[in-house]
Chain A
């Protein structure tokens, strides 16, 4: 049932535009992979290419050691949850969920009773029990999304492709669904590739995260590893919210200077450098290393995003706790957590040093 996925030399072209060019993407059997990238990065195209839905795609796809590159999509045993839901509007929720079980290649595997039980099971887990006789037009967006998820899960596929399957749920439901999804995936042991632009989902769900940007994979790894040691500026920008601050610095004599702050930087050549400072690594009050003017405060409830100016550069700061004591126009002291600086080459945008 469960199988490893190996994709190599995958490319998708629309006309003469290269939409996706992935050298290699592998998942172990039962692994939960997250394809993280901003909108337009090629996530949907990648998933559809793996599923065999795009005539303009080329490359090799191996599932469970079997080459399925030339297999028709209906024979691949891959289930996909579309971002647009793609529910069958002329069928009830029950018929939608049953649809994959009634396909010619599976219809003999299950009796009508077993089919019914499977649908009830999935509907129960997804909270669709009351909605089984409705049609998609009578459902809310979040309900439709859950039906779409259910249709992908009901048949226990070898590979599960999920294209932003919980992005349109409201916040409370989304958090619940995250946990539920992770649990179901573990229980079923199904190899899963989950596409999302949301770094929070990548952290919460991903055993392994593939950072996709402009059609190519920038970095692959565990979420924490990508957060602490991004290989380049784009990865640093995509993981971590609010977005990382990037300011110009200078390396001279094995030391880096940024915003008047100095840190050791062994092994780096002299010259300009791009310094990444995560908003969560900056502290207001307490240990003062920098002097900052407060430009804006955006409360989040238990925290706030504060925009400050330091030596003419604008920085985002994620403050914790009592943020209401600062007002726009105040001057505050800013601390920078040690071991939090990321240094990038300003030309190649590759990371040259992390954790100083």
Chain B
């Protein structure tokens, strides 16, 4: 009896939680089908009852897609994906080194080097972005794809290194020694044993990097103006008018949700794996 009650209680709690978590997304979705007047005479939540849905915003988005919207979506996706990939690959090498070898540069040991790397993320980016702007002007990197990828990579590399170091450190060194005696040279030991075992770490580092880059506003604001603009800037440009285009903003926002969700769904199965269990006593 108690357990049945407990089960229902759990379901009720989960239901409340689902509503709580999904309500903003639903609100944005429904807003994208509203006319301006329904938005301002708010809150209207139930289509056909509260308000009459219209495809107006989506049609305008489709019209705008060739010129404005699609290039920005593509920019966002390419910059985020490429910079995350670079950050994870470079970060993996750095993290593996920090986990396996002992370094000594003057007073700096492994932990100090790690902290030095992470400290690049402690300072708020707004402090450095002006200086970065000046550097980018000199480098002719403003409003270029490679400039944005570079900026995102440097933003994400510290986190990737920090996260991956602990993952590599958790892999018993004897597994690598076993692979060595089984006849595998160093690079293959990494590819066949270390990286598969670090998969949850690699996946989470990629996801975090991707989200940070996808959600970035500041770098894009300062370092791009046209060709290399990203989705968040496009969205904010829609609201920077005398009358914000809420329905359009909501429609773009819905599309902006899709890539992170897809990335999460794809990588989630690597993250939840208990890959290290059973290898050593």
- Which residues of A pack against B, CB within 8 Å? 48, 51, 53, 72-74, 76, 78-80, 82-90, 99-100, 103-106, 135-139, 141, 144, 151, 155, 168
- Interface positions, chain B 255-281, Cβ under 8 Å from A, are 274-281
Question: Do B175 and A100 have beta carbons less than 8 Å apart?
Answer: no
- Give 20 CB contacts A-B under 8 Å: A51-B181, A53-B177, A73-B180, A74-B181, A76-B181, A80-B181, A82-B177, A84-B280, A86-B178, A87-B178, A89-B278, A89-B279, A90-B196, A90-B197, A99-B179, A104-B185, A105-B183, A141-B281, A151-B182, A168-B281
* A interface: dominant SS: loop
Question: Do B181 and A53 have beta carbons less than 8 Å apart?
Answer: yes
Question: Do A86 and B193 have beta carbons less than 8 Å apart?
Answer: no
State the interface size on chain B (CB cutoff 8 A).
Answer: 25
Q: Provide the residues of chain A in CB contact with B182, threshold 8 Å.
A: 74, 79, 99-100, 103, 151, 155
Extra pairs beyond A82-B178, A103-B183, A106-B183 (5, CB < 8 Å): A86-B174, A88-B179, A137-B277, A138-B278, A151-B182
**B276 closest partner in A (C-beta):** A89
The residue among A51, A76, A89, A135 with the most chain B CB atoms within 10 A of its own CB is A89
A-B contact count (CB 8 A): 92
Q: Does B188 contact A (CB under 8 A)?
A: yes
Q: State which of B177, B193, B275, B276 has its C-beta within 8 Å of the C-beta of A73.
A: B177
**B281 closest partner in A (C-beta):** A84
- Which residues of B pack against A, CB within 8 Å? 172, 174-175, 177-185, 188, 193, 196-197, 199, 274-281
Question: Do A74 and B183 have beta carbons less than 8 Å apart?
Answer: yes
The residue among B175, B177, B279 with the most chain A CB atoms within 10 A of its own CB is B279
Question: Do A85 and B185 have beta carbons less than 8 Å apart?
Answer: no
Question: Do B181 and A78 have beta carbons less than 8 Å apart?
Answer: yes
Cα distance, A237 to B145, chains bound together (Å): 73
Q: Considering the complex of A and B, which 4 residue pairs feature the smallest CB-CB distances, nearest first?
A: A103-B183, A137-B278, A136-B278, A89-B279
Given the interface pairs A80-B178, A89-B277, the reply to whether A74 lies near B184 with Cβ below 8 Å is yes
Question: Do B185 and A74 have beta carbons less than 8 Å apart?
Answer: yes
Q: Provide the residues of chain A in CB contact with B280, threshold 8 Å.
A: 82, 84-87
Q: State which of B175, B177, B184 has its C-beta within 8 Å of the C-beta of A104.
A: B184
Q: State which of B177, B184, B199, B279 has its C-beta within 8 Å of the C-beta of A136.
A: B279
Question: Do B185 and A72 have beta carbons less than 8 Å apart?
Answer: yes
Q: Provide the residues of chain B in CB contact with A87, threshold 8 Å.
A: 178, 278-280
Question: Do A89 and B177 have beta carbons less than 8 Å apart?
Answer: no
Cα distance, A138 to B277, chains bound together (Å): 9
Question: Do A85 and B281 have beta carbons less than 8 Å apart?
Answer: yes
Kindly provide the distance from the CB of B77 to the nearest chain A CB, expressed in whole angstroms: 30
**A161 closest partner in B (C-beta):** B181
Cα distance, A309 to B201, chains bound together (Å): 62
Question: Do A86 and B275 have beta carbons less than 8 Å apart?
Answer: no
Q: Provide the residues of chain A in CB contact with B277, threshold 8 Å.
A: 89, 136-137
Kindly provide the distance from the CB of B131 to the nearest chain A CB, expressed in whole angstroms: 42
**B181 closest partner in A (C-beta):** A80
Cα distance, A205 to B136, chains bound together (Å): 72
Q: Provide the residues of chain A in CB contact with B183, threshold 8 Å.
A: 74, 100, 103-106, 155
